[in-house]
Amino acid sequence: MVRGLLLIGLAVLVAVPASAQGLPWQDRDRPREPTRSLSRPPVDATISREKTGTGFFVDDSGTMLTARHAVDACVRVVVAKEGRATSARVLALSDRADIALIKVPRTWGLAAVFPKSAPPGLNDMVFVGAYDRLPGLIARGGTLANATVAAATDPAGQMALDSDATFGASGAPVLDARGLVGGVISRRTTPTRVIAVGADEAKAFMAGHGVRFVQDDRPQLAGGASRANRAASISARVTCLQN
């Protein structure tokens, strides 16, 4: 059962009571359908579900990249950051890779920058972190690296990382030593192995949908700034509300 949970990705799936308060995006008047588990029949109709992942801004007009499985089959997608929340529109789901484009009215923070030439290679140290976990990392002074490229990008556009990235990291950016986005987190296959969609695959997907993203090989980190701070500045929490 644990192995099965690892294979579904890194989005958090939780049950939410229909009477939950303090969620401005929750449609409290929408009829609730029963939650379906892997081992039990439908239960109380007052329960709905939500998945929580991470997304990051790729331009200055509110376009974001995230994992496809984090926003597929949603009644509503909500983006939240630093106490703000707004509904997002799903622009495109990739047919080839576990990535998707979503749109909010404007960019909060900074837009990501992608490498113009070589993405992270074998044994390179990279940074990966779910948005909800980034504030804690920053409070402790940031983390310089918490993952290693275990296998460079394959023909399918995927790269393997040795990482302890946990649930909620689906859709998070993989940052190299320069603070450039080298990939997008997809799923975890073992407790220490994570699969990411490579930068080239992500760039081709965005270009195919008319997104004008920035490419540059120059470092995006000033002085001794950490990649945790850089990741927090471009990222946000992504919540998928489901029936």
Q: 229 to each of 92, 117, 189, 220, 234, how far by Cα in Å?
A: 28, 24, 27, 11, 9
Which residue shows structure tokens 């049950």? 15
- Averaged pLDDT score across all residues of the chain: 79
Banded pLDDT at 137 (limits 50, 70, 90): very low
Q: What is the pTM of this model?
A: 0.79
Average pLDDT over residues 192-210: 95
pLDDT of 119 above 90: no
Find which of 37-41, 129-133, 190-194, 208-212 is predicted with most confidence, using mean pLDDT: 208-212
Nearest Cα to 188, choosing from 63, 24, 7? Answer: 7
pLDDT of 78 above 90: yes
Q: Which two tokens stand for residue 202?
A: 């992500």
Please name the CATH architecture into which domain 113-235 falls: Beta Barrel (2.40)
